[in-house]
Amino acid sequence: AEVRGKGVIEKGDIPGVKNVLAIGSGKGGVGKSTMAAALAYGLKSYGARVGLMDADVYGPSIPHLVGASGRPMARGERIQPIEASGLRLMSMGFLLEPERAVIMRGPMLHGIIQQFLHQVDWGELDYLIIDLPPGTGDVPLTLAQSLPLTGAVVVCTPQEVALLDAVRAVAMFRQLKVPLLGMIENMSFFDIPAYLEEKGGPRARAILQETRLFPTPEDERVYIFGRGGARREAERLGVPFLGEVPLNVAIRQRGDEGKIRDILAADSPARPYLLGVVEKLAAQISIQNLKTPRMPKLEILN
């Protein structure tokens, strides 16, 4: 998943970080944080060096999803990120007791995001993925003003009310001049054979095939929240569509257990869908970097 490298670091860039990706959504409950973590592990599975920053300061969930804990340590004037399963992580969740609420005004929030971006020792990264809070509030504005983002990804679900909010998120990123790398439709459909195989083993799928209960692959899918809504909206808005991710019990279970990386395991029914999204995302990043190459800086000698 290595993409075209940028030129030298410009003002506002994070030293050593090639690409900064914002993962957003118009509303909560669409699986944005799960997708952010899945994208991080997916890019890592292709050999990339990846960091994951939890910018959802009021509701940090990344530490729980990835099963990471501990307190970040300071080394000189730099904060050392927590490392877990090959990812470099930073979250407000590492700095608070689990049941403590985060109560702060906009200026304090701005300061925390700035610290996470520029005082954390991220090291050499191919990708820094930033999990945004839902909606169109202060954090995306702070990010857009703080550093040049490679682009943003909008996560949504198929139902109309979620799509309306996703459209607002797209409009926000465009207003902030942040390139749109694509949309992901999460919880697109329920895959019946995958669920039965998960519960009953390979024999369950074999029985389904023998009985021909579902004559075609389309018959195996139940579109609980509607069908194709995100793809249609992406086409209408001129935004790349990165793919569908099914509604899957294992994704919920692995997240609850702090083992979200396991949804990319070889036997995971979600793996092919997620890797398809990751590959399309990496392609869009390459395209974006070709569109906006960084000019090398010239040193003027007296």
What are the structural domains of the chain?
Answer: 17-189+225-288 (3.40.50.300)
The reported pLDDT for the residue numbered 141 is 87
**Considering only CA atoms, which of 10, 11, 22, 39 is closest in space to residue 174?**
22
**For position 10, what pLDDT does the model report?**
43
Highest-pLDDT range among 119-133, 186-200, 285-299: 119-133
Which stretches of 242-270 are DSSP H helices?
Answer: 249-256
Measured distance CA(221)–CA(176) in Å, rounded: 38
Give per-residue pLDDT as tens, 172-182: 999 999 999 99
pLDDT tens by residue, 26-36 = 888 999 999 99
Per residue in 74-92, pLDDT tens? 998 899 999 999 999 999 9
At residue 290, what is the residue type? L
Distance (Å) of CA 272 to CA 31, 174, 247: 18, 30, 14
- What is the model's pLDDT at position 220? 75
pLDDT beyond 60 at 44: yes
CA dist 98 and 55 (Å) reads 17
Q: Is the pTM of this model over 0.95?
A: no
**Residues 96-117: pLDDT tens digits?**
877 777 777 777 888 899 999 9
Question: Could you tell me if 159 and 187 are in contact, meaning their C-beta atoms sit under 8 angstroms apart?
Answer: no
State residue 263 phi and psi, 5-degree precision. Answer: -70, -5
Span 210-228, average pLDDT? 73
Q: Return the pLDDT at 250.
A: 87
Q: Is 248 helix (H, G, I), strand (E, B) or coil?
A: coil
Distance CA 208, CA 195 (A): 12
pLDDT at 192: 77
Q: What pLDDT sits at residue 234?
A: 96
pLDDT at 297: 47
Rounded-to-integer distance, Cα 190 and Cα 138, Å: 35
